[in-house]
């Protein structure tokens, strides 16, 4: 494989409904898409999952554009590699910037799978073509609105409900959800909003029989999470601290949590996701695929990687219509009445990219050769 060009395309997509976490409220996504072409005329698509500000991560939209344009793309273009699995090696010497790396790397996997005329999920080593789907519901203006949204998603068949929590939107809110819906599969995602001083609160919330507390403490911590896990019965799920296979290994050795949210963009793409999945599977740690408000292209890559054997819990990969009035792929991602998504049999990501719509939405474009 030799990449001839990488095009960066930024689009703006308004959300169907605002999405609020402990970081703040999002109404619209600025998304960088990558279109890579090889010397034989094959092409593939990827997506950068960085947010508009460096809140969830130090990576953000403008920063990723700059690092891809000036550093990462020139490191990849014109280099001969055996396969897409080795694209990561070309960029590895650059520290961090994993979301930017993933945008390029995943596009190369799509390109190669299309060239070989195989579905990306099979090419990655996936074994479960039908994956379980859950939903992530942000903080709402009122508890009543939250309950209404949960009912809508339960009626749609989703297998797991995740609600965002933060100080003053936690215990009483979860209590009301349990009172209303009983023992549904439910979890709380704190996005690093708490400290060890809140241990007693988490011990009280053990009574709710949640599937997990996701990332309750600092974004870069695995020490205090281990301390908290020793105090609570509910499994802790790690998100932000797991950026590499080494991070996963260390967290498992420290017993920092019992579950890992494995986000493809956060760890640098398919190569790194596959390595972390193997480490977790061999250690008996279940993983699931988290979401970053991706468009259909990023969502398609999430579907593909979620078919690996270690992804044993419902992820955040849900229907396109929950987020976008019109997606940029065809057909849009849909969820069955049983709360599952079937990975497509088409070559590559298996969805048709709506190129004309993307270019009409573009706020800026840059082709790097």
Whether 233 is a known active-site residue: answer: no
Q: Name the least confident of 13-27, 84-98, 237-251, 302-316.
A: 13-27
User: 9's torsion region: left (phi>0), alpha (psi -120 to 50) or beta?
Assistant: beta
pLDDT greater than 90 at residue 22: no
**Ramachandran angles phi, psi of 180, nearest 5°:** -85, -40
Judge contact between 39 and 77, C-beta under 8 A.
no
- What is the pLDDT of the chain when averaged over all its residues? 97
Interacting residues of 91 by C-beta distance below 8 A, sequence separation 6+? 72, 75, 76, 101, 104, 105
Rounded to whole angstroms, the Cα distance separating 139 from 122 reads 36
Q: What is the mean pLDDT of residues 175-182?
A: 97
Q: Residue 226 in 3-state DSSP?
A: helix
- Entry field: residues in the chain: 369
In our burial notation (b when 16+ CB lie closer than 10 A, e otherwise), range 19-33 reads bbbbeeebeebbbbb
260 close to 241: Cβ distance less than 8 angstroms: no
Q: Decide if pLDDT at 24 tops 90.
A: no
263 a catalytic residue: yes
Over residues 271-302, the pLDDT tens digits come to: 999 999 999 999 999 999 999 999 999 999 99
Q: Tokens 């897409």 — which residue?
A: 84
| pLDDT tens per residue across span 350-369 | 999 999 999 999 999 999 99
pLDDT tens readout for residues 123-142: 999 999 999 999 999 999 99
Q: Measure the CA–CA gap between 359 and 369, rounded to whole angstroms.
A: 19
Phi, psi of 233 (to 5 degrees): -85, -35
Give the whole-number percent of the chain exceeding pLDDT 90: 97
What is residue 23's predicted lDDT score, i.e. its pLDDT?
77
Find the farthest-apart pair of alpha carbons in the chain and give their distance in angstroms, rounded. 60
Secondary structure string (H, E, C) spanning 46-114: EEECCECCCCCCCCEHHHHHHHHHHHHHHHHCCCECCCHHHHHHHHCCCCCCHHHHHHHHHHHHHHHHH
* pLDDT (tens digit per residue) in 212-271: 999 999 999 999 999 999 999 999 999 999 999 999 999 999 999 999 999 999 999 999
Contact 301, 120 (CB under 8 A): yes
pLDDT of amino acid 303: 98
Residue 134 confidence (pLDDT): 96
Mean pLDDT over 175-202 rounds to 97
How far apart, in Å, do the first and last CA atoms of the chain sit?
Answer: 15
Q: Map residue 298 onto helix, strand or coil.
A: helix
How far is residue 33's CA from residue 103's CA, in Å, rounded to a whole number? Answer: 7
More confident residue, 358 or 168: 358
pLDDT at site 242 = 98
Domain ranges of the chain: 3-118+353-368, 122-342
Quick one: average pLDDT of 77-102? 97
The mean pLDDT of 40-47, rounded to a whole number, is 97
CATH number given to 3-118+353-368:
3.30.390.10
Choosing from 149, 162, 263, 275, the catalytic residue is 263
160 has a pLDDT exceeding 80: yes
- Determine contact, residues 287/106, Cβ cutoff 8 Å: no
- pLDDT > 90? residue 20: no
Q: How far apart are CA 256 and CA 236, in angstroms?
A: 8
What percent of the chain stands above pLDDT 70? 100
Domain 122-342: CATH superfamily, name plus number: Enolase-like C-terminal domain (3.20.20.120)
Which residues contact residue 283 at a Cβ distance below 8 angstroms, ignoring those fewer than 6 apart?
252
> Per the residue annotation, which of 114, 115, 164, 275 is the catalytic one?
164
Model pLDDT, residue 19? 83
Cis before residue 331, ω within 30 degrees of 0? Answer: yes
Does the pLDDT value for residue 18 go beyond 90? no
pLDDT (0 to 100) of residue 25: 86
Q: What is the average per-residue pLDDT within 168-191?
A: 96
Helix 98-115 to helix 296-305 angle (10° resolution) is 80
Q: Summarize the confidence of residues 50-65 as an average pLDDT.
A: 95
């Amino acid at each position: 494989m030799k990449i001839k060009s990488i095009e960066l395309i930024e689009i703006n997509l308004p959300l169907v409904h605002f999405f609020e976490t402990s970081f703040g409220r999002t109404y619209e996504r600025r998304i960088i898409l990558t279109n890579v072409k090889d010397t034989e005329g094959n092409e593939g698509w990827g997506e950068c999952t960085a947010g508009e500000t460096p809140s969830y991560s130090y990576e953000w939209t403008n920063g990723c554009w700059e690092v891809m344009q000036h550093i990462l793309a020139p490191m990849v273009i014109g280099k001969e590699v055996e396969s897409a699995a080795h694209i990561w090696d070309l960029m590895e010497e650059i520290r961090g910037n994993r979301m930017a790396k993933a945008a390029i790397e995943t596009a190369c996997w799509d390109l190669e799978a299309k060239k070989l005329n195989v579905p990306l999920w099979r090419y990655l080593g996936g074994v479960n073509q039908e994956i379980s789907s859950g939903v992530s519901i942000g903080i709402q203006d009122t508890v009543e609105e939250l309950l209404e949204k949960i009912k809508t998603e339960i009626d749609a068949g989703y297998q797991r409900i995740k609600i965002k929590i933060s100080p003053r939107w936690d215990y009483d809110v979860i209590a009301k959800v349990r009172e209303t819906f009983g023992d549904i599969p439910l979890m709380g995602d704190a996005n690093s909003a708490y400290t060890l001083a809140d241990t007693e609160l988490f011990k009280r919330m053990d009574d709710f029989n949640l599937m997990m507390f996701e990332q309750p403490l600092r974004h870069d911590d695995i020490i205090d999470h281990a301390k908290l896990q020793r105090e609570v019965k509910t499994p802790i799920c790690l998100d932000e601290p797991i950026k590499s296979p080494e991070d996963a290994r260390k967290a498992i050795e420290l017993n920092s949590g019992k579950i890992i949210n494995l986000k493809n963009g956060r760890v640098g793409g398919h190569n790194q996701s596959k390595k972390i999945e193997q480490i977790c599977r061999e250690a008996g740690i279940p993983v699931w695929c988290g979401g970053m408000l991706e468009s259909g292209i990023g969502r398609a890559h999430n579907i593909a990687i979620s078919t690996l054997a270690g992804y044993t819990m419902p992820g955040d990969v849900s229907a396109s219509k929950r987020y976008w009035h019109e997606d940029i792929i065809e057909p849009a991602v849909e969820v069955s009445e049983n709360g599952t998504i079937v990975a497509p049999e088409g070559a590559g990501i298996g969805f048709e990219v709506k190129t004309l719509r993307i270019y009409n939405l573009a706020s800026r474009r840059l082709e790097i050769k």
